[in-house]
Amino acid sequence: MSFHSMWAELLPVGRSSASGGYRRFAWTDADADCRAWFEDQARARGLAHEVDRNGNQWAWLGDPAARDAVVTGSHLDSVPDGGAFDGPLGVVSAFAALDELRGRDARLTRPLAIVNFGDEEGARFGLACVGSRLTAGQLTRAQAHLLTDGEGVTLPRAMEAAGYDPDAIGPDPERLARIGAFVELHVEQGRALDLSGDRVGLASAIWPHGRWRFDFRGEANHAGTTRLADRHDPMLSYAETVLAARREAELAGAVATFGKVAVEPNGVNAVPSLVRGWLDSRAEDQTRLDTVVGGIEKAARSHADAHGIDLDVVRESFTPVVEFDHALRDELARILGTDTDLTVPVLGTGAGHDAGILSGSIPTAMLFVRNPTGVSHSPAESASEDDCVAGVLALADVLEGLACR
């Protein structure tokens, strides 16, 4: 099956007709449809399909138990109203690259696998990269069991309802020990390749990043009869905090975003009792990130204290800076430069990836495919089909260079 037909087959799955964006959240029906698609692709190619203890899907060519495997793939879940490319491009390209290798009659000397990591975006349970974090031992079973979605459904309940065993989840060092290299292809989530005029690039590093929950508690009251002077309105402290986030990020050359907010009781004619906002902040280095988040929290506290609002700040997740394996990156650059005599651009990114999580355990690398607008986490995310095919060929070259030597 060509890249084009695989892409067309996956395109309608989990797409909202209202927004045109994707709602492929972990352990939902849309997620199950994506997983069924993955399994079909594996079986159609005669690959051995397996689901690991953490719900990640694998398709193996060669002996899964042999060591030094080369693994590629990404994720199929999405953010709320996400684009088509973030995640699926890496998985579809992996199957297409395998077809290309077979077309070249390449002789593999190492096992090769394609992976679909579960719950990469963390859209439902608030923590990103749950499948790879569990596998790498960066999230314990007990911690994962406490994750709860916006409807009050816990992660173990959701896994169970989808037919998986939540008591089996946990670190998987034996699996990781069998992998010699993981290469994730991903749509670029910025415009560096568009500006440099390149179709494909390599990743250098991922910025340190995290998510913090700010709970502002005030007093619910009547919107018509409560004098302004008598209110304890947590929305005002929240609003000040959003503006502080922008200021602090600008000062530090970092980014800070309040993209999710919950209000109680959420009535148009009631002063809220609670405003809960989630901050996502990222910076090139840890010191800057600490400065930004510290500055935002200080501004939030000072406003809250002055207006009789209680404030709790909880860090819900954190991923330190990731430097991708230099030797693997140099090898990829050499492989990709051989045919073209071109230097492949090497880019840093503010986006998180399973490859970043796994980089603490195994050598990992990433390939980026040009995104002409740089837009991501939105239905407007895009890449031309020609660039996607260039990405598939680059990935095939990389897999051939690594697994057929």
Question: What is the contact surface with ligand GLV in residues (CB under 6 A)?
Answer: 121, 128, 351-352
Q: In terms of CB distance, is 189 or 273 closer to Mn ion? A: 189
| Binding status of residue 52 toward Mn ion by CB under 5 A | no
Residue 121, marked binder: yes
| Binding status of residue 381 toward Mn ion by CB under 5 A | no
Residue 3: CB minimum distance to ligand GLV, A: 22
Residue 211, marked binder: yes
Q: In terms of CB distance, is 238 or 368 closer to Mn ion? A: 368
| Binding status of residue 86 toward Mn ion by CB under 5 A | yes
Q: In terms of CB distance, is 70 or 249 closer to ligand GLV? A: 249
DSSP output for 55-104: S-EEEEES-TTSSSEEEEEEE----TTB-SSTTHHHHHHHHHHHHHHHHT
Residue 86, marked binder: yes
Residue 87 binds which of ligand GLV, Mn ion, none (CB < 5-8 A, kind-dependent): Mn ion
| Binding status of residue 87 toward Mn ion by CB under 5 A | yes
Residue 60 pairs with which residues in a beta bridge?
48, 113
| Binding status of residue 184 toward Mn ion by CB under 5 A | no
Residue 116: CB minimum distance to ligand GLV, A: 15
Closest alpha carbon to 117 in 101, 134, 140: 134
Query: Which of 49-57, 86-94, 190-198, 236-244 is the region at the interface with Mn ion (rule: CB under 5 A)?
Result: 86-94
**Buried b / exposed e across 92-122, counting CB within 10 Å, b at 16+?**
bbbbbbbbbbeeeebebebbbbbbbbbbbbb
Cβ–Cβ < 8 Å for 18, 85:
no
- Provide the CA 335 distance to its chain's centre, in angstroms: 27
For the CA atoms of the chain, what is the radius of gyration?
22
**Buried b / exposed e across 157-172, counting CB within 10 Å, b at 16+?**
ebbeebebebeebebb
Residue 226: CB minimum distance to ligand GLV, A: 39
Closest alpha carbon to 402 in 322, 308, 324, 335: 335
Q: Residue with the closest Cβ to Mn ion?
A: 86
Residue 7: CB minimum distance to Mn ion, A: 16
Query: Which of 84-92, 101-109, 110-118, 387-395 is the region at the interface with Mn ion (rule: CB under 5 A)?
Result: 84-92
Q: Which two tokens stand for residue 48?
A: 């051995």
Closest alpha carbon to 336 in 382, 385, 361, 369: 369
Residue 352: CB minimum distance to ligand GLV, A: 4
Tell me the three state secondary structure of residue 227: coil
Residue 352 binds which of ligand GLV, Mn ion, none (CB < 5-8 A, kind-dependent): ligand GLV
Residue 306: CB minimum distance to ligand GLV, A: 33
Residue 269, marked binder: yes
- Binding-site positions read 75, 86, 121, 186, 211, 269, 282, 377
- Binding-site positions for Zn(2+) read 75, 86, 121, 186, 377
